[in-house]
Chains A and B, each alone.
Chain A
Amino acid sequence: DSGVTQTPKHLITATGQRVTLRCSPRSGDLSVYWYQQSLDQGLQFLIQYYNGEERAKGNILERFSAQQFPDLHSELNLSSLELGDSALYFCASSVNGAGNSPLHFGNGTRLTVT
């Protein structure tokens, strides 16, 4: 158990809809990351937050947004969903937002857009 909690585990929705994925980091970790894993792909970095502030942005679509709250949990919002957004979405956390500290991953949310 990595200590990172993601909800829900599975989500099925229709094209055009909006969903929210939730992540609680490990106790004591200040930084949260979101990654997307599509079929047969590696993990693609989406966005990072550190102590409530956006720290780095990757290949995140404009239809997607995220935030980290004062209690350090994070939410990833996906809107105007398309079939191609179907993927595994992983949240990870680390103690700090920089330096040589490994990321610890949750078990992911599997999103299916029909």
Chain B
Amino acid sequence: DQQVKQNSPSLSVQEGRISILNCDYTNSMFDYFLWYKKYPAEGPTFLISISSIKDKNEDGRFTVFLNKSAKHLSLHIVPSQPGDSAVYFCAASAIGGATNKLIFGTGTLLAVQP
């Protein structure tokens, strides 16, 4: 049972435009959501997070939006840069539990074309 889903395996965007990566989840107990970026031969790098008490969190070019009723979140990158080309993973956890183990989606490969 895939509790966190990223339905787009890949996305191609022109440099300078907006990249929108989407993520859906099924477990209503999730209340903390994160995005990670992963380059080849490296581990995932934390990008940005959002708790369920918010619907938006912004950090520079990166903004995460959370729609709890739809169990959907998205990551917006504006403007996109070639260095943003990587695999992006969405992850979720339930803060109130005794563990903050993260459940990951399968990732979306973003290619930013110069």
Q: Is the CB of B100 within 8 A of A100?
A: yes
* Chain A: minimal CB distance from B61 (Å): 18
Residues of chain B from 86 to 103 with CB closer than 8 A to chain A in the complex? 89, 95, 97-103
- Whether B45 pairs with A98 at a CB distance below 8 angstroms is no
**Would A45 and B43 be within 8 Å (CB), given that A100-B95, A102-B34 are in contact?**
no
When chains A and B are docked, how far (Å) is the Cα of A33 from the Cα of B103?
A: 12
Contact of B95 with A43 in the complex, beta carbons under 8 Å: no
B99 touching A90 by the CB < 8 A rule?
Answer: no
Q: Is the CB of A48 within 8 A of B95?
A: no
Complex CA distance for A6 and B105, rounded to whole angstroms = 23
User: Which of B45, B95, B99, B106 counts the most A-chain CB atoms under 10 A from its CB?
Assistant: B99
Q: Give the residues from 40 to 73 in chain B that come closer than 8 angstroms, CB to CB, to chain A.
A: 41-46, 49, 51
Q: Which residues of A contact B (CB under 8 A)?
A: 2, 4, 6, 31, 33, 35, 40-45, 48, 55-56, 58, 90, 92, 94, 96-108
The 7 A-B residue pairs with the shortest CB-CB distance in the complex, in nearest-first order: A105-B43, A56-B99, A42-B106, A102-B46, A43-B104, A42-B104, A107-B43
